[in-house]
Amino acid sequence: MIRNLRVPGRVVALGLPTMWGVLVVVFFAVVTGLVLHVRHTLLRELRQARRVAAAAQDALLRPMPPRIDGLNVAAAQLSADRGSSVGGDLYEVVATEHGVRVVMGDVRGHGLAAIGTVAAVLGSFRETVHDEPELAGVLRRLDRALARYLRERADGLVAEEFVTVLLLEIWRGGEVRALNCGHPWPYRLLGTHVEPLARADPLPPLGPFPLPPDLPAVPFGQLRPDEALFLFTDGAEDARDAHGRFFPLPDVLAEALHEGAHTPQSMLSAVFTRVLRHTSGCPTDDIALLALRNERHHRRPSGAWDSDTCGSAARARATTPHPQPTTHR
């Protein structure tokens, strides 16, 4: 049906096709407005989620000072889950009356699913290191905290859960003692020389098996002035390139030292740069690195205040001015 609209001097015909065109324009305008509104809402919620995630990360892996009781320290992690800045790796450095105590661990699995276990182990470590005079007591407390957490979770996967844990204790004189449950041994770095701290088989990881009744901490001599320890989770050495070749961590460390990367911050920057290049930016497992260097022989200016007498865990952005990877995509 066609209607004629009479205008002085002429007749204008309004047909159904013209009316449908108007309706289509109105429809698309409304849809576009709704899409823009939804997009704005989602972006706002995403920003809020990122703020919450950052706060959670600060609570879980608290920023630490770059120096702790005379040790220059840096730590960082790379989560295998896109958009996640916290994964299944854990680390902490705390100065106590029993010496500087360090933990590095790796929870079975990676990414967001492992965060609860990470929180249980780290929370226990932070409390225990001040109370237990012996490193064996710290390890037993961590074992009980993990068992309690897994029982309370009760999701049927308790038997499959485990955590590798490396505990270090560095006395004021530089003496190093350690207990290791299934974790890779750190590397000792001096000059341009790189060697494993130990080659002995560690104890089984925490979780599947009970700890032995006798747990003497193993002495490893002294951490001499300007000597460093480089701790890592197995995601570093297990990272593969497109041809299936493993990441050569000792060689990369030696090369970095030859190029003058002697501070913990520069060591982490060099290793993360190389591991991202090796994996084409897509590692398949969480990676955590922690380096500490003995600088206790360096004298401070008279009257200078040593702010590193109390330690806490660290993320890369709080401990190093170099690139600070927390996610890889």
The candidate with the shortest Cα–Cα distance to 288, out of 100, 94, 102, 145, is 102
State pLDDT tens for residues 220-256.
999 999 999 999 999 999 999 999 999 999 999 999 9
What is the rounded distance in angstroms from the CA atom of residue 293 to the CA atom of residue 118? 25
pLDDT at 326: 44
Using 50, 70 and 90 to split pLDDT, how confident is the model at 51?
low
pTM of the model: 0.76
Whether the per-residue pLDDT at 56 is higher than 60: the answer is no
pLDDT at 109: 64
- Mean pLDDT of the 299-325 span: 40
* Residue found by looking up tokens 């990470």 in the block: 118
- Mean pLDDT of the 122-147 span: 96
Using 50, 70 and 90 to split pLDDT, how confident is the model at 323?
very low
Percent of the chain with pLDDT over 70: 73
- Mean pLDDT of the 191-198 span: 94
Residue 254 CB contacts under 8 Å (≥ 6 apart), including other chains: 192, 193, 194
Whether the per-residue pLDDT at 107 is higher than 70: the answer is yes
Question: Token digits for 112?
Answer: 């967001």
pLDDT at 86: 63
User: What is the pLDDT of the chain when averaged over all its residues?
Assistant: 81
Using 50, 70 and 90 to split pLDDT, how confident is the model at 277?
very high
What CATH code is assigned to 61-319?
3.60.40.10
Question: Token digits for 89?
Answer: 């790796």
Whether the per-residue pLDDT at 306 is higher than 50: the answer is no
Least confident span in 16-30, 43-57, 102-116, 223-237: 43-57
Question: Token digits for 150?
Answer: 């897994």
Show me where the domains of the chain are located: 1-32, 61-319
Q: Does residue 101 contact residue 167 with C-beta atoms inside 8 Å? A: yes
Percent of the chain with pLDDT over 90: 54
Q: Does residue 85 contact residue 318 with C-beta atoms inside 8 Å? A: no
State pLDDT tens for residues 81-98.
665 556 688 999 999 999
Q: Which helix (H) or strand (E) holds 67?
A: strand 67-68
- Mean pLDDT of the 249-271 span: 96
Whether the per-residue pLDDT at 329 is higher than 50: the answer is no
Least confident span in 87-91, 156-160, 253-257, 315-319: 315-319
Residue 62 CB contacts under 8 Å (≥ 6 apart), including other chains: 312, 313, 314
pLDDT at 113: 62
